[in-house]
Amino acid sequence: MPLPTIATPTYSLELPSTKKTIKYRPFLVKEEKLLVLALETEDQKEITNAVRSVIKNCIQTRGVKVETLPTFDIEYLFLNIRGKSVGEEVEVNIVAPDDGVTQIPVTIDIDDIKVNENPEHNKQIKINDELMMEMRYPSLDQFIKNNFDINDSNFDQSFELIASCVDKIYSEEEVWSTDDVSKKEVMEFLEQMNSIQFKDIEKFFETMPKLSHTLKVTNPKTKVESEVVLEGLSSFFA
């Protein structure tokens, strides 16, 4: 007689980017092992790939393509899957801002961690009086491929990611989809911009929704209270 199967509960959450409700399950022991092994490597790419794989397995709603989800959706999803799997709280060490050395252990309720949306964020960018551009959010795959940070000194990688996030260019009469042209052509188009026009594109990335949580910590040595903002999955994934 075969052994019985263990029923796994399912939960629902709303994706920040589309406001669409999806169903998910907690991760299992085999998936937890995958995450632990990735963490032990201390390799950001290995960790990101493990997170993506676990999320893929845990999403129960059909038609959700993890590869194309915006990074902030991935991060929010993973945090909630983790919450239902190993506990509703995360423990992190905060470096005291006043001395830059003292580590302060804090416990954060996962329900308090939200995707912060900047009211100044806009996917539509005006290039000039004739042309507009519509952006799309970078996916986790694009971040892995480009190893991108908007403040990174590697301009070529940053520029390549920006080009991959241009969805379409349009005027009142015509629409040019970037799916119909090469990335090289998109990059050549961007190179024609002046600094003011390009700053509007940079603003799209700077104001993009982010996983964020603000908290106050007190340095036990100096008794100085500081406000700390944690952003991105790596701030909470310990």
The string of pLDDT tens digits covering residues 38-47 is 878 877 778 7
Whether residue 220 lies inside any domain: the answer is no
Of 36, 68, 87, the residue that ends a domain is 87
Tell me the β-bridge partners of 213: 230
In this predicted model, which residue has the larger pLDDT, 149 or 137? 137
Helix (H, G, I), strand (E, B) or coil at 156: helix
- Are residue 78 and residue 134 in the same domain, yes or no? no
User: How much is the pLDDT for 147?
Assistant: 43
Average pLDDT over residues 211-228: 93
Residues 156-210 pLDDT 10s: 667 888 999 999 999 999 999 999 999 899 999 999 999 999 999 999 999 999 8
Asked if the structure places residue 158 within a domain, the reply is: yes
Q: Residue 111: is its pLDDT beyond 90? A: no
Residues 6+ apart with CB under 8 A from 152: 158
Residues 73 and 140 in one domain: no
Q: Mark which of 87, 113, 133 sits at the end of a domain.
A: 87
Confidence (pLDDT) at 222: 94
Decide if pLDDT at 150 tops 50: no
Give the domain range for residue 76: 11-87
Q: Is residue 116 part of a domain?
A: no
Report yes or no on 69 lying in a domain: yes
pLDDT tens per residue across span 60-80 = 999 998 888 898 898 899 889
* Number of domains the chain is built from: 2
Mean pLDDT over 118-133 rounds to: 94
pTM as predicted: 0.78
Contacts 24+ apart (CB under 8 A), 58-62: 58/24, 58/25, 58/26, 58/27, 58/31, 59/22, 59/23, 59/24, 60/10, 60/22, 60/23, 60/24, 60/25, 61/22, 61/23, 61/24
- In this predicted model, which residue has the larger pLDDT, 181 or 237? 181
Residue 147 or residue 194, greater confidence? 194
Average of per-residue pLDDT across 29-55: 83
DSSP letters, 196-225, are HHHHHHHHHHHTS-EEEEEEEEE-TTT--E
Residue 67 lies in a domain: yes
Is the residue at 168 inside a domain?
yes
Confidence of residue 218 (pLDDT cuts 50, 70, 90): very high
Same domain (yes/no): 134, 194 = yes
Indicate whether 148 pLDDT > 50.
no
By the 8 A CB rule, do 150 and 205 touch?
A: yes
In a domain, 6, yes or no: no
Q: Are residues 190 and 136 in the same domain?
A: yes
Instruction: Provide the percentage of residues in the chain whose pLDDT is more than 90.
Output: 52
